[in-house]
Amino acid sequence: MYSSGDHTRFIKQTASRLGFNYCGIAKAEFLDEDARRLEDWLNKGMHGKMQYMENYFDLRVDPCKLVPGAKSVITLLLNYFPGEQQNAEQPKIAKYAYGNDYHEVIRNKLHVFLDEIKIKTGEINGRGFVDSAPVLERTWAQKSGLGWIGKNGNLIHKQQGSWFFIATLIVDLELEYDDPLTKDYCGSCTKCIDHCPTDAILPNKVIDGSKCISYFTIELKDALLPASMKDRFDNWMFGCDTCQDVCPWNRFAKPHNEINFTPIPAVLHFTTKEWNDLTEEQFKLIFKHSPIKRTKFSGIKRNLQFISKHP
């Protein structure tokens, strides 16, 4: 008969074998404080036109609503920091979108992970999530000791910074739990706040999503971007990494070794002219497996026009 300790060791070893950089485990419980904070954030309209943020509120704060009888929340971090960077003159793309779509890459790993847990422990209930379901993954990461939530809203790991995708497995299996990280190591640093091009980062770790460049360039589906934001995007065409680029903790970042995140050549090398000359057929072919397809061809054209220095 295996103990909860045996199962915990197996899960952490499996996480490492599947390529995850860090694994932490927290007890599944209702997120009372987060429920209040999320409700306040939504009431203030900081989600902009991201209506989906209003949906499934009860699922976001109660893991038992996602997996009946949930006992443990397993949090996994996967590094995506690239070894190569774009040229300074190009329309800028957030680093998470350099390679293949992380949703597909991580979802496949989670399927394998859950299957292996079931083989080891017997039939259990469990679900894997990666950024596309109502899970407050950064809270669970902090509760399982993997980092603290910085002033820019990102999870920051003390040894390696914030260039991580966060995945979550919720299971009805009792495990040994890691101690939460209760200390905040941002200190008096305000670099992310000071450098945010659109003043989207507010005090007390509040992010006004409706002002974020990532929101405008990816989430917002309007045909035109707000004139009030003209010349404030700092040449970001898809997403924005400014708050992570300036974070002192990211000096510890190391390049990933996930082959699926190998940069697409066009992302690293396309000039503004090549982006502008791109046809929809070429776009669909080149970015077939890329997160960039999320904003669609029309969105890329809109964003390009908006960051253009020419009227």
- Collapsing DSSP to helix, strand or coil, 167 comes out as strand
CA distance 254 to 159: 10
Residues forming beta bridges with residue 23, ordered by sequence position: 76
Q: At what angle do helices 102-121 and 4-17 cross, to 10 degrees?
A: 150
CA–CA dist 237, 93 (Å, integer): 6
Phi (first) and psi of residue 304, to 5 degrees? -60, -45
Cα(first)–Cα(last) distance of the chain, in Å? 71
Contact present, 134 and 58 (Cβ < 8 Å): no
Q: What is the spatial distance between Cα 274 and Cα 304, in angstroms, rounded to a whole number?
A: 11
Angstrom distance (rounded) from CA 228 to CA 220: 15
Q: Catalytic site residues?
A: 131
The phi, psi pair for 48, rounded to 5°, reads: 60, -130
DSSP for 49-93, please give it. T-GGGGTTHHHHH-HHHHSTT--EEEEEEEE---SS---TTSPEE
77 strand-pairing partners: 22, 166
Q: What burial class does residue 96 get, using C-beta atoms within 10 Å of its C-beta: 0-12 exposed, 13-18 middle, 19+ buried? A: buried
